[in-house]
Structure 1
């Protein structure tokens, strides 16, 4: 399953690097490297959202760095 994190200007300023780092750590902790692929993406057209644009499969989400762990547990792990 692919997880795309926007690294465009707006999301970069909102903390996309922190989100990517948190996802990377969680994927390693749960030993899911063979089931999840984390990718950076340029603008997804959701810049008006409060947080960083994240796409899991065909669904878009808006995350702040502090919410990544909860999102991972509920949304990502829930799809595996």
Structure 2
């Protein structure tokens, strides 16, 4: 199981992290990944200046916003999920 963590701390919340979670939830379902990934909310990940903080396993994804969430999912998140899906994954990245 691969963890996808989205920060819901105050800065990320104000930038639209809940919309990112909604978009990722829809895309995970559309891609049939419900049994392979766990989408989790996380408090501050310490990267407040780089957009909404997201991590896949222990790999941070930067410059995520609610307007580009679908693009980020397909170009950055999904390739990492596919690469990591065969091994054990750490919990959400936190600094």
Q: Which residue of 1 aligns with 2:54?
A: 54
Deviation above 3 Å: which 4+ runs of structure 1?
none
Q: Which residue of 2 aligns with 1:9?
A: 10
Mark the runs of 5 or more structure 1 residues left unpaired by the alignment.
none
Residue 90 of structure 2 is matched in structure 1 by: none
**TM norm structure 2:** 0.78
Specify the SS of the correspondent of 2:5: strand
Pairwise CA RMSD? 1.0
1:43 corresponds in structure 2 to 44
User: Number of matched residues?
Assistant: 79
User: TM-score, normalising length from structure 1?
Assistant: 0.91
C-alpha distance after superposition, 1:22-52 (max 9, x if no partner): 0000001111100111000000011122x10
| Rounded Cα–Cα distance in structure 1 between residues aligned with 2:42 and 2:22 | 15
Q: Distance in 2 between matches of 1:11 and 1:28?
A: 23
Uncovered stretches (5+) of structure 2, i.e. residues with no partner: 83-95
